[in-house]
Structure 1
Amino acid sequence: MQLTIVEYPDKRLKNKSKEIKNFDAELHKLLDAMHPFMIETNGIGLAAIQVNYPIRALILNIPNEDGEQPPENLLEVINPVITAKSGETSYQEGCLSVPKFYEDVTRYEKITLHYQDRYGNTKTLEADDLLAIALQHEIDHLEGILFIDHLSYSRRKKFEKEYKRMLKERKQKK
């Protein structure tokens, strides 16, 4: 399965993803393809919508202390729902769909998440720190929200200007 990243300003990123009802071989094939693709593109999280599958699925593989992302730490999250949230933290986020741009985003410090695994089993996860931040970032994708949508008006205008300049430079190199 060949995957490519859908990049901003592509309108598909603004679509809300649909709930998954079939936990079949097709879903497993997609999840199996998303993990190595995310690692190859230096991501720690990837929502299915980012690879043009508008379904409520995401994967996460938070690096360990050595910066490695062992497969056994992979988290596959289907149909996530945040049921509790507390605290506030700020983290400099980036996104595979908004390459080469990083900004501080305020998120909840701790969350409780209900979701399903690839087989449809219901799970609950309590997350904090980077895991909570990454989950919120990826769940935002499923809602059609990008991390840049959390920026203040002035920071968003600055981003738009810088991003247009970067796209122009990229075109000139081709």
Structure 2
Amino acid sequence: MRRLLCATALSGALFVLGACSADKAAETGAGATPATSAPAPGTSGVPTPPGSSPAGGDVALKGNTKAICAQAARTGAEAAQKFAQDLKLLIEAETAQDPSAVAKAKAKTDRDVQNYSSALGDMAKLASEPELKMALTAMGKQVSTLQGDVRKLDAQKLAGLQETLATACGTA
């Protein structure tokens, strides 16, 4: 029961973090186009315009603080939802004492954590403003310390990093 309460509190904190960053981007008009899926490792997660390559999209985004901030907000909101779902899936698998389901849940969580960390790192590489680059890099490192286990997430520390990102984006 205690584990379920902790999971509920953590997933709520994650959802609020993602929702707050998405709301701030929407207030500035930067978050008008929602992303449809999490970015693959090694990509910024920024939608690529038709007829162009992903690398070309990244080049066009390079130094575009407004677009990078909007993408960070969308990616953060999506990651919060996925992390909450992953946590629920993992708890259900462990409660059912199904080793196969636990392994699948852990693999999915690991993939989702890695995707989010990679997306943050890729966005940091595209950022030209030092504050934004630093905030995205710090968030990526914090997420990567989870090593695929969303139960290790320090919601308070991530909230502080999210605030730093909001400040760097001018949405705080």
What is the TM-score with the length of structure 1 in the denominator? 0.26
Higher share in helix = 2
